[in-house]
Amino acid sequence: MKLDERAKELARIVVEYSTAVKKGDLVAISGELVALPFMQEIARRVVDKGSYPTMSCRTPENERYFYEHAADDQLARLPNFEIAKAEEIDAYIGIKATANPLNLQGVEPKRISAANAARAPVSDIIIGDGEKYQGKRWVLVGYPVTGDARQAGMTLTKYADVVFGATNIQWEQEAEKMKKVKDAFDNAEDVHIYVPGLTDLHLSLKGRGGEICDGKHNMPDGEVFYGPLEESANGVITFTYPAVREGNLVEGIRIAYKAGEVVECSARKNQKFLEAMLDLEGAKRIGELGIGCNPGITRYMKNLLFDEKIGGTIHLAMGRSISQPLDKGGGLNKSPLHWDIVCELRKLGNQPGGQLKVDGKLVQEKGIWLI
């Protein structure tokens, strides 16, 4: 199978820019079998750098079977060699491409959460926990495959155009643009998110600074994120787009906060799943405020790696804050859940458009920056 030239360029960006692979590195590459040609291209480039690639592939069928049939002790098990591998590698490249995005639909959420909790130590080592582990060089990379394209309601050709249009760009230039957003929001006493009749939410970033996401950990990237003060959220937010998690689609999410904690939640579809997620420890608090800034992503695709970066949107993460310093996007909330859900602020179709205010100053209206 001949690989798209744009995919080869993306592999180059991931190896040379995102993870800055150098001679002698041990680089772990993982993803679904459907993305194997792209993973092989990345591995070739790692070898050409004088480094050593190690590759792991999974299939949706085996993944679902494990979650459905494994006993509790199997779900909770983390082999020692997984820890040893995470400690030994210098860089990690994870491919986000799914043959069947709804593969885990109907699987008991608590079983998936139990397995994810068991693997948390690996994540802490690779991503960093802000305490014991500083983290490795790592990146999650979107790659166009038929399953994800179908989920987005696109042909594979159109989906690939969107993917590569959002990834194969000058990331240094995008970082300069996002610096203006960071400067506007850093240390804000009050951030007001408002959409007439739908959203009226206040939260505080006092003492908190943002992190500019410029392709070093996500690809595509393009957001500025913060860890809001844990008890600062007050008001209500209606999330415009369905949220997809572990193959479950939740639509029409509306959440009310008081003193930082969820006091009411509802959904038009799959409310029980929403409630199950919010019942997890720490999930009733907001772990992240993200501000979408990627100009190449203009429509909702039911793929969070892309949707949270849509320019003119914000997203909130239910649960865990990012384990980084408080002046670099970090927060204090602890939870096994980190679930980003997107709110549209542009005026699109029947969406009225919204506003972002920082300490009373209007900085964005209907998705257009005024800074």
Question: CATH number, domain at 70?
Answer: 3.40.1830.10
Cα separation of 60 and 192, whole Å? Answer: 41
Contacts (Cβ under 8 Å, ≥6 apart) of 247: 101, 102, 103, 104, 105, 106, 107
**Based on the domain organization, do 290 and 339 belong to the same domain?**
yes
Contacts (Cβ under 8 Å, ≥6 apart) of 104: 63, 64, 67, 112, 246, 247, 248
What SS3 class is residue 289? strand
Contacts (Cβ under 8 Å, ≥6 apart) of 2: none
Cα separation of 254 and 359, whole Å? Answer: 24
Mean of the pLDDT values across residues 123-135? 87
- pLDDT score for 146: 96
Cβ neighbourhood burial of 141 (10 Å; 0-12, 13-18, 19+) = buried
- pLDDT score for 221: 96
Q: pLDDT, tens digit, for every residue of 187-196?
A: 999 999 999 9
Q: pLDDT, tens digit, for every residue of 336-363?
A: 899 999 999 999 988 899 999 999 999 9
191-195 and 199-203 beta bridge pairing: antiparallel
Share of the chain above pLDDT 70, in %: 100
**Based on the domain organization, do 109 and 191 belong to the same domain?**
no
Q: pLDDT, tens digit, for every residue of 29-85?
A: 999 999 999 999 999 999 999 999 999 999 999 999 999 999 999 999 999 999 999
Report whether pLDDT(1) > 80. Answer: no
The single-letter code of the amino acid at 93 is I
**Based on the domain organization, do 241 and 139 belong to the same domain?**
no
- CB 210 within 8 Å of CB 253: no
Measured CA angle at 179 (ends 321, 236), to 5 deg = 45
Give the chain's length: 371
Give the pair of three-digit tokens for residue 54: 């190690």
Q: pLDDT, tens digit, for every residue of 144-162?
A: 999 999 999 999 999 999 9
**Based on the domain organization, do 194 and 339 belong to the same domain?**
yes
- pLDDT score for 128: 87
**Based on the domain organization, do 124 and 270 belong to the same domain?**
no
Report whether pLDDT(199) > 90. Answer: yes
Residue 78, domain extent: 5-167
Q: What's the mean pLDDT when you consider all of the chain?
A: 95
- CB 314 within 8 Å of CB 197: no
Looking at 98-112, 142-156, 275-289, 357-371, which range is the least confident one? 98-112
- pLDDT score for 164: 97
Phi, psi dihedrals of residue 351, rounded to the nearest 5°:
-80, 130
Residue that finishes a domain, picked among 117, 136, 167: 167
